[in-house]
C-alpha cells in the first residue's frame, strides 16, 4: 500500500508539478487548494495522511492554524511547511506545534524529497508508537486484574477510580508477586496520560550515585565519565508516568530530591544551574513496611505522606485462594497460546494441591508454576507431576542448621535480590551479626558485605 501525502498549495502550477513528481515516486497524493478543502479532507472525510506538505500562507489563512487544529484532534502525521517569505515567529510556532521542518521556497526537488523521506521515517515511527499505545490501552484495563473475591473486586474498583483522576503521586504496596507492576501499567494505560510515555526504574538495582543521575539527568562534566548531557528519567517521562519500583530501597538523600521534584514539578540536572519544569505523575511501589522504615529513620516521613495521599494495597494470594479457579485458566490460556499447547482439563487433585499451598511468591509464583506445567504437558490434562509444591509449603526459604545448609525455592517465588538478602540475613544471624565472620563464611570482603547490608537495609544490633 502506497504512503499517503497531502499537498496543500494554492499555486496551481506548483501544486500540479509536486503532485506529478511525488505520484511518480509511488506516493498516493491528494492535493488541496485551500485550508477549507484541507479541513474537509482531514476533519470531515477522516483522511489521515502520513505526511502533509503545505504552503504557509494560503488565500483563506495560515496553515499553522490548520496544523494546530489537527494536533488538537490528535491527527498524526508529519508536516513540512513551505513558504516564500518565512519569519522567525512563524518558524518558532511551526516547530512548537511539532512541524517536522520549515523550509523556504524555491526548494529543489531532490532537497524536498530528502526532507520528505525524513518525515516519512519519523511518521512511521510515531504511528508504531501510537498503535502500541492503543494496544496497551486496550490490554491494560482494570478488568484484567482477575478474581471474584471481595478483595479483588475492591482492587478493581480502586484501580478504576484512580485511573479517572489526575493524581500527581501514588504508592502501591503489597508482597512480592502480588502484581504491583501490572497495577501501575493499568493506572497509566487506562488513565488520562495513556498517550504519554511510561518509564520504569527499579530503585534497588542501582547505587545512590547512579540512581540520582538516572532520575534527574546530568550535564557534561558533572562527574567523572559524564562526557555528554543526559536527560533524566523524570524528563523522559514528561506528559506520562514514572514508575519507581522498590522505592523503599531508595537512598534517603535521593528521597529528598524526589520529594522536591514532585512538589515543585521541576528538577535540576546534576551539574546543572537551572530548574527544568517536568509534567509527570509518579507511581511508587514497595513490598516493605514504609511506616516502620519511617519510624526507624530510613525513609523520609514527608515523602511517605506525599505518596500516601493515594494508596493502593494489593492482597496476598493466600488471603483470597478462591480466586485460583479464575486465575489458573487465564494463565493456562496464555501459555497454551505461546507454546502451542492444548491443556484444558485440570484434575481435582491439582486444585487441592494448589489450594493447600501457601503461595509465598503470590500470583507471580502461581504464574510460574502454571507455565512450567503447561510447557511440560503432553496432552489436554494439566500434569500434576510438575507442580513441585511440596518443598515450598513453608513461606519463604528455610535454614537447616544441623548441616549448615540454606534451602531456597527455585520456582519463582523469590527473585535474585530476595535470595541475596535472605542469604546475608540468615548468615548474619548464624554468626551473631559479626561482620568479619559473616564475610568470611560468604567468601566476600567486609566492604562488599557492608554495602549489601546498607542496600537491603538490614538491621545490625549494636
What does the pLDDT read at residue 408?
74
Task: Quickly list DSSP for 190-212.
Answer: TSTTTTS-EEEEEGGGS-HHHHH
116-131 residue pLDDT tens: 888 888 888 777 766 6
Does pLDDT of 395 surpass 60? no
**Structural domains counted in the chain:** 4
Contact 385, 394 (CB under 8 A): no
The C-alpha cell at 345 is 482439563
Question: Can you tell me the distance from the alpha carbon of 147 to that of 326, in angstroms, rounded to the nearest whole number?
Answer: 6
Last residue of a domain, which of 377, 392, 407?
392
By CB neighbour count within 10 A (0-12 exposed, 13-18 middle, 19+ buried), where does 353 fall? middle
Residue 3 CA to residue 295 CA, distance in Å, equals 61
Query: What CATH number has the domain bearing residue 128?
Result: 3.40.50.2300
Beta bridge partner(s), residue 47: none
pLDDT exceeds 80 at position 416: no
Residue 385 domain boundaries = 317-392
Same domain, 302 and 338: no
Range 66-85 average pLDDT: 83
Q: Which of 275-284, 337-346, 390-399, 421-430 is predicted least confidently?
A: 390-399
Q: Which of 372, 392, 412 is the last residue of a domain?
A: 392
β-strand partners of 244 = 201, 284
How many beta carbons lie within 10 A of that of residue 178, not counting itself? 23
Give me the chain's average pLDDT, please.
Answer: 86
Task: Mean pLDDT check: name the lowest of 204-208, 296-300, 360-364.
Answer: 204-208
Query: What local confidence, expressed as pLDDT, does residue 227 receive?
Result: 76
Supply the CATH number for residue 428's domain: 1.10.10
C-alpha distance from residue 14 to each of 21, 24, 27, 66, 107 (Å): 10, 15, 17, 21, 11
Predicted TM-score of the model (pTM): 0.63
- Checking if the pLDDT of 401 tops 70, the result is no
**pLDDT score at 134:** 60
Q: Is it the case that residue 323 has pLDDT exceeding 80?
A: yes
pLDDT tens-digit map of 82-98:
887 656 677 777 777 88
pLDDT band per the 50, 70, 90 thresholds, residue 404:
low
Does the residue 446 lie in any domain?
A: yes
In the chain, % of residues over pLDDT 70: 92
Based on the domain organization, do 300 and 154 belong to the same domain? Answer: yes
Q: Which of 341, 371, 392 is the last residue of a domain?
A: 392
Task: Please indicate, yes or no, if residue 462 is contained in any of the structural domains.
Answer: no
* pLDDT attached to residue 445: 84
φ, ψ at 307 (rounded to 5°): -75, -30
Residue-wise pLDDT tens digits, 260-284? 999 999 999 888 888 899 999 999 9
The CATH number that applies at residue 295 is 3.40.50.300
Report whether 46 contacts 91 (CB < 8 A): no
Residue 156 has pLDDT above 70, yes or no: yes
In this structure, are 159 and 131 located in the same domain?
no
The 8 Å CB, 24+ separation contacts for 404-412 are 409/360, 409/361, 411/361, 411/365, 411/368, 411/369, 411/372, 412/361, 412/364, 412/365, 412/367, 412/368, 412/369
- Most confident among 359-363, 389-393, 403-407, 417-421 (mean pLDDT): 359-363
Amino acid at each position: 500500500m502506497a504512503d499517503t501525502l497531502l499537498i496543500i498549495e494554492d499555486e496551481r502550477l506548483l501544486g500540479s508539478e509536486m503532485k506529478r513528481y511525488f505520484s511518480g515516486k509511488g506516493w498516493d497524493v491528494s492535493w488541496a487548494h485551500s485550508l477549507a478543502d484541507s479541513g474537509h479532507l482531514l476533519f470531515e472525510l477522516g483522511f489521515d495522511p502520513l505526511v502533509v506538505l503545505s504552503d504557509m500562507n494560503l488565500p483563506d489563512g495560515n496553515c499553522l492554524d490548520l496544523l494546530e487544529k489537527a494536533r488538537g484532534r490528535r491527527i498524526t502525521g508529519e508536516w513540512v511547511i513551505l513558504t516564500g517569505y518565512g519569519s522567525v515567529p512563524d518558524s518558532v510556532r511551526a516547530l512548537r506545534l511539532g512541524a517536522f521542518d520549515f523550509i523556504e521556497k524555491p526548494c529543489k526537488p531532490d532537497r524536498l524529497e530528502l526532507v520528505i523521506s525524513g518525515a516519512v521515517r519519523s511518521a512511521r515511527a510515531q504511528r508504531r508508537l501510537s498503535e502500541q499505545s492503543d494496544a496497551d490501552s486496550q490490554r491494560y484495563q482494570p478488568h484484567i486484574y482477575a478474581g471474584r473475591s471481595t478483595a479483588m473486586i475492591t482492587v478493581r474498583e480502586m484501580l478504576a477510580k484512580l485511573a479517572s483522576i489526575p493524581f500527581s503521586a501514588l504508592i502501591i504496596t503489597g508482597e512480592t508477586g502480588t502484581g504491583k507492576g501490572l497495577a501501575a501499567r493499568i493506572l497509566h494505560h487506562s488513565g488520562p496520560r495513556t498517550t504519554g510515555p511510561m518509564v520504569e526504574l527499579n530503585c534497588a538495582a542501582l547505587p545512590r550515585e547512579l540512581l540520582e543521575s538516572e532520575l534527574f539527568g546530568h550535564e557534561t562534566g558533572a562527574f567523572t565519565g559524564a562526557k555528554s548531557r543526559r536527560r533524566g528519567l523524570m524528563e523522559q517521562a514528561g506528559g506520562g508516568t514514572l514508575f519507581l519500583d522498590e522505592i523503599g530501597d531508595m537512598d534517603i538523600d535521593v528521597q529528598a530530591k524526589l520529594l522536591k521534584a514532585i512538589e515543585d514539578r521541576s528538577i535540576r540536572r546534576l551539574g546543572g544551574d537551572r530548574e527544568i519544569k517536568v509534567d509527570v505523575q509518579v507511581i511508587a511501589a514497595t513490598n516493605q513496611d514504609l511506616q516502620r522504615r519511617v519510624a526507624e529513620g530510613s525513609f523520609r516521613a514527608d515523602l511517605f505522606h506525599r505518596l500516601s495521599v493515594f494508596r493502593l494495597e494489593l492482597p496476598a494470594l493466600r488471603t483470597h485462594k478462591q480466586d485460583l479457579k479464575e486465575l489458573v485458566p487465564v494463565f493456562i490460556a496464555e501459555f497454551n497460546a505461546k507454546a502451542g499447547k492444548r491443556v484444558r482439563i485440570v484434575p481435582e487433585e491439582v486444585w487441592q494441591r494448589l489450594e493447600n499451598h501457601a503461595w509465598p511468591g503470590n500470583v507471580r509464583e502461581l504464574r510460574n508454576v502454571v507455565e512450567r506445567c503447561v510447557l511440560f504437558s503432553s496432552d489436554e490434562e494439566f500434569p500434576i507431576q510438575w507442580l513441585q509444591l511440596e518443598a515450598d509449603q513453608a513461606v519463604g526459604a528455610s535454614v537447616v542448621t544441623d548441616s549448615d545448609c540454606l534451602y531456597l525455592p527455585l520456582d519463582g517465588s523469590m527473585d535474585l535480590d530476595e535470595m541475596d538478602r535472605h542469604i546475608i540475613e540468615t548468615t548474619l544471624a548464624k554468626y551473631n551479626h559479626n561482620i568479619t565472620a559473616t564475610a568470611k563464611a560468604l567468601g566476600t570482603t567486609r566492604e562488599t558485605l557492608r554495602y549489601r547490608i546498607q542496600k537491603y537495609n538490614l538491621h545490625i544490633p549494636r
